[in-house]
């Protein structure tokens, strides 16, 4: 999946460790100040994109510094302002759905680029060689576009 999850929290070590074990996470840190959370986010960004989920005033610097900052609606309003996304429903289900949707969209985009690429790899040389009449080209191009649109509209 290419995702690495960690907990960086200002909460007590005991509760953070318990939650980390429940989630099966080995990477976690507790008792962090807002500045330390921000520094962790900055350090992680050297390895790729970083998303942060937070709910309080202490999360605001990390939310603002992340590539994607997400705040839960029930949290402090200052965290809402620092975030890019505000999760309106309680729980992590909306977040899971968002990542699934993004994964689905990326897969569909790659398929559509492949369809377009194959069409162009076939059609352009045939047209340059003079083997395709303008009428056939005029019919084939919209058909290729319809194939891309049809693929984009597929549900699974």
Nearest alpha carbon to residue 41 among 57, 23, 54: 54
Q: How confident is the model at residue 134 (pLDDT cuts 50, 70, 90)?
A: confident
> Are residues 115 and 61 part of one domain?
no
Q: How far apart are CA 141 and CA 123, in angstroms?
A: 9
> Are residues 130 and 78 part of one domain?
no
- Split into its structural domains, the chain has a count of 2
> Are residues 82 and 50 part of one domain?
yes
Domain holding 54: CATH number? 3.40.50.1000
Which has more pLDDT, 74 or 106? 106
Reply yes or no on whether the pLDDT at 46 is more than 90: yes
> Are residues 12 and 80 part of one domain?
yes
Query: Going along 18-67, which residue ranges are E strands?
Result: 28-29, 51-54
**Which of 46, 77, 92 is the endpoint of a domain?**
92
Tell me the pTM.
0.67
**Which of 92, 122, 143 is the endpoint of a domain?**
92
> Are residues 133 and 104 part of one domain?
yes
Whether the Cβ atoms of residue 115 and residue 144 lie closer than 8 Å to each other: yes
CA angle 124, 126, 128 (to 5 degrees): 65
Domain range for 32 is: 7-92
Domain-embedded: residue 79: yes
In angstroms, what is the C-alpha Rg of the chain? 23
Q: Residues 63-72: what's their mean pLDDT? A: 90
């Amino acid at each position: 999946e290419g995702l690495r999850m960690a907990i960086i929290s200002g909460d007590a070590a005991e509760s953070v460790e318990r939650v980390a074990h429940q989630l099966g996470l080995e990477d976690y840190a507790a008792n962090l100040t807002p500045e330390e959370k921000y520094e962790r986010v900055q350090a992680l960004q050297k390895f790729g994109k970083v998303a942060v989920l937070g709910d309080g005033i202490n999360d605001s610097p990390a939310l603002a510094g992340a590539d994607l900052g997400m705040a839960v609606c029930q949290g402090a309003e200052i965290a809402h302002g620092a975030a890019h996304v505000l999760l309106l429903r309680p729980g992590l289900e909306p977040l899971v759905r968002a990542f699934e949707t993004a994964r689905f969209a990326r897969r569909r985009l790659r398929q559509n680029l492949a369809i377009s690429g194959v069409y162009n790899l076939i059609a352009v040389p045939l047209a340059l060689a003079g083997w395709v009449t303008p009428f056939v080209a005029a019919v084939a191009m919209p058909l290729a576009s319809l194939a891309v649109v049809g693929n984009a509209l597929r549900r699974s």
